[in-house]
């Protein structure tokens, strides 16, 4: 197996995530237990039993998904200790789990960063009225032109034919109508708390700088692609800068995925809640084996 690892982003959360893998894997349980000690609030209770409303808040959701993803990674390493990925990447929040996987920082340091990131993004959401929408089947150049006219921004370049736009709620509504007026009908408003990956998040990104600067970063032990550039980054100063820029910048996921799969991969393993990234993978590069590690059942399905 020549595998690359990808890690879930915000939106992949669900009540019950991590519960069975916590019960099945001592390594996964240790990750959750460590997270609770660091955070000082009942992470396991919220992940395993909800309420769902709490999991929707960035301040809770981001450390919860990061922990669940790292727990799934620990369980996978426990089951297949010889499995070494060719490269890795994560979607938005998932980039932190990818950087941990690449040895850039410890689980604990990554959790502290993600907890601060979630709080800062929650505050940004509450200080503005933002919205997002998914644009299906429209060329990137056309999307960019219509967004520029409407004063909104491209948030995610997910895969061919799927682009997410972000900005002030009123401007997003008008931009959706502009797309429809030009004959592009498949524009889907998203249920989100704010305008992620837009300039409305810039202050949150800037406020993250002091936390990043005081965190110990090491050079990656394997190639890791970052969202802001869509390419491999190995310099720790650049990694920090990209984590700041990523908060308000476009997520170039299609480029990230092409970069990591181009390392000679035949298998993509999505680690963490949900299955969004394996769904995108089949639309970016054909012929890859797609595997999810998000539960005890999915873990047991992986061949020893």
Which residues are catalytic, by number?
A: 92, 197
Beta strand pairing status for 267-271 and 3-7? parallel
The first and second tokens of residue 2, run together, are: 């020549």
Q: 188 - beta bridge partners?
A: 134
Q: 5 - beta bridge partners?
A: 88, 269
Burial class (CB in 10 A: 0-12, 13-18, 19+), 214: exposed
Whose structure tokens read 């970069």? 259
C-alpha to C-alpha distance for 1 and 14, rounded to whole angstroms: 30
| Cα–Cα–Cα angle for 285, 290, 296, rounded to 5 degrees | 155
The first and second tokens of residue 37, run together, are: 């000690």
Asked if residue 300 lies in contact with residue 80, where contact means CB atoms within 8 angstroms, the answer is: no
């Amino acid at each position: 197996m020549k595998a690359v690892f990808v890690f879930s982003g915000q939106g992949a959360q669900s009540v019950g995530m991590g519960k069975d893998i916590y019960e099945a894997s001592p390594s996964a349980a240790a990750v959750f237990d460590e997270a609770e000690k660091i955070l000082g609030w009942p992470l396991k209770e919220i992940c395993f039993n909800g309420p769902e409303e709490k999991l929707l808040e960035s301040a809770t959701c981001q450390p919860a998904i990061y922990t669940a993803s790292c727990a799934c990674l620990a369980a996978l390493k426990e089951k297949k200790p010889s499995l070494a990925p060719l490269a890795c990447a994560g979607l938005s929040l998932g980039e932190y789990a990818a950087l941990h996987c690449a040895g850039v920082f410890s689980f604990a340091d990554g959790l502290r960063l993600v907890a601060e990131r979630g709080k800062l993004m929650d505050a940004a959401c509450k200080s503005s009225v933002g919205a997002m929408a998914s644009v299906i089947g429209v060329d990137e150049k056309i999307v960019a032109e219509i967004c520029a006219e409407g004063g909104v921004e491209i948030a995610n370049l997910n895969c061919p034919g799927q682009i997410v736009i972000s900005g002030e709620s009123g401007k997003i509504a008008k931009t959706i109508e502009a797309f429809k007026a030009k004959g592009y009908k498949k524009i889907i408003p998203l249920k989100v708390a704010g305008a992620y990956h837009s300039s409305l998040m810039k202050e949150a990104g800037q406020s993250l700088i002091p936390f990043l600067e005081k965190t110990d970063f090491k050079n990656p032990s394997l190639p890791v692609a970052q969202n802001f550039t869509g390419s491999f980054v190995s310099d720790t100063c650049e990694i920090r800068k990209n984590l700041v820029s990523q908060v308000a910048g476009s997520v170039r996921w299609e480029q990230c995925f092409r970069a990591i799969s181009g390392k000679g991969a035949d298998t993509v393993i999505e680690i963490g809640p949900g299955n969004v990234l394996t769904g995108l993978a089949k639309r970016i590069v054909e012929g890859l084996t797609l595997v999810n590690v998000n539960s005890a059942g999915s873990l047991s399905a992986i061949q020893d």
